[in-house]
Amino acid sequence: MPETAPSPLPDLPSPSPALLIGAALFLDFDGTLAPIADTPDGVHVDGELIDLLAALRRKLNGRLAIVSGRSITTLRDFGFHDFLLAGTHGLEFAAPGETPQAPARLPAIDAVEQAFHLFADTRPGMLVERKSISVGLHFRGAPDCGEAAGLLAHQLAQDHGLAVQAGKMLFELRPGGADKGSAVTHLMQQAPMAGGTPVFIGDDVTDEEGFAAAADLGGHGILVGPARHTRAAFGLEQVAAVRHYLAQGVAAII
Ligand SMILES: O=P(O)(O)OC[C@H]1O[C@H](O[C@H]2O[C@H](CO)[C@@H](O)[C@H](O)[C@H]2O)[C@H](O)[C@@H](O)[C@@H]1O
């Protein structure tokens, strides 16, 4: 029998700016609001982005949140002090100006961080990212080490009862029990997000739970980047298209 080539994934339709009217908007950070950089510290947030998000949030009567794998502390360091934040893949929450609600850093995370360093320190290009309550092992600078990094991450997760969060050239270990979907569900139950139609914009596999939660609550997911199997109904090509879309949203909402 002749082998059949897998059929290409159809491109997702572009979202209309009108989708943002009445939305409760959830925005991923890396790869959605800021282009992917070589290292976690290589990302820059410009004042124009903060101003755009602030204008959109005003139009949405406050219904705008950033839902990221970054910690709340890091998001605030990037300049998002005044925003409703869900950090570390749905494990942490903070309203503007408030102390983050977050679980304590587990001793197991410190043990994993040490093991990650033992692995990374002999492999040029590997990078360990210390985070508030989790730890990341990045192989963007050493792509050949990705498979070994994944094996190590899964072994350590099993040894310490932690969850593996795969990302873009990254394995992160963190406590389980939450994801971006649970963050959306949680935030949709309270002001200022309650009452809006959830719209989740993200690029990474970690955003799929966010797309699914938004869809399950009657809203929509918007995937940033190339087509893939996804729960998102709409697509935008890249970060610049996201910014353009958000600016169109500001203009579309009276
Ligand atoms: O949920 P997000 O806001 O998308 O955060 C997910 C992870 O993003 C960061 O790593 C990714 O972006 C880096 C900078 O562009 C890039 O160098 C790296 O390869 C990507 O995986 C961040 O460092 C992680 O802590 C986040 O969990």
Same structural domain, 128 and 141: yes
Rounded to 5 degrees, what are φ and ψ at 177?
A: 90, 0
End of a domain among 153, 175, 197?
Answer: 175
Angle at 78 between CA 76 and CA 79, to 5 degrees: 65
Determine, yes or no, domain membership for 3.
no
**Predicted ipTM of the assembly:** 0.99
Q: Is the peptide bond before 192 cis (omega within 30 degrees of 0)?
A: yes
Residues with CB under 6 A from ligand 1: 28-31, 36-40, 43, 68-70, 129, 131, 136, 138, 140, 167-170, 172, 204, 206
| 30 alpha carbon – ligand 1 mean position (Å) | 5
Same structural domain, 171 and 187: no
Same structural domain, 162 and 189: no
Among the listed residues 162, 37, 76, the one whose alpha carbon sits nearest the alpha carbon of residue 112: 162
Distance, C-alpha 129 to centroid of its chain: 16
Determine, yes or no, domain membership for 5.
no
pTM of the model: 0.96
CATH of the domain at 122: 3.30.70.1020
Encoded amino acid at 220, one letter: H
pLDDT score at 9: 75
pLDDT score at 206: 94
Same structural domain, 32 and 148: no
Q: What are 197-252's pLDDT values in tens digits?
A: 999 999 999 999 999 999 999 999 999 999 999 999 999 999 999 999 999 999 99
- Total domains present in the chain: 2
Is-contact 246 230, C-beta < 8 A? Answer: no
Q: What are 119-147's pLDDT values in tens digits?
A: 999 999 999 999 999 999 999 999 999 99
End of a domain among 175, 202, 228?
Answer: 175
CATH of the domain at 242: 3.40.50.1000
Backbone torsion region of residue 103, taken as left when φ is above 0, otherwise alpha when ψ lies between -120 and 50, otherwise beta: beta
Range of the structural domain that residue 186 is part of: 17-91+178-252
Which residue has a Cα nearest atom 6 of ligand 1? 69
Same structural domain, 21 and 87: yes
Distance CA 87, CA 100 (A): 9
End of a domain among 175, 196, 218?
Answer: 175
